[in-house]
Amino acid sequence: MAGTLYWEDLAPGSVRELGTTSVDKEEIKEFARRYDPQPFHVDEEAGRQSIFGALCASGWQTAALAMRLTVDNMLRHSSSQGSPGLESLRWLRPVYPNDQLALRHVILESRPMRKRPEVGLVLSRWEMFNQDGDKVLEMEGWGMFGRRTPATPEELAAYEAQRAAS
* Interval 118-156: pLDDT, tens: 999 999 999 999 999 999 999 999 999 999 999 999 989
pLDDT tens-digit profile of 14-71?
999 999 999 999 999 999 999 999 999 999 999 999 999 999 999 999 999 999 999 9
Strands (E), 29-152: 85-91, 100-112, 119-129, 135-146
Q: In what order do the strands lie in the sheet containing 100-112?
A: 15-22, 100-112, 119-129, 135-146, 85-91
Count of CB atoms situated within 10 Å of the CB of 16:
16
Q: Is 118:146 a contact under the CB 8 Å cutoff? A: yes
pLDDT band at 159 (very low <50, low <70, confident <90, very high): confident
Q: Is the pLDDT of residue 112 over 50?
A: yes
Q: Which of 115, 103, 149 is nearest to 9 (CA)?
A: 149
- Whole-number Å distance between alpha carbons of 51 and 13: 37
Whether 1 shows a pLDDT value over 80: the answer reads: no
Secondary structure E strands in 9-156: 15-22, 85-91, 100-112, 119-129, 135-146
| 75-109 confidence digits (pLDDT tens) | 999 999 999 999 999 999 999 999 999 999 999 99
In angstroms, the CA 38 to CA 74 distance is 32
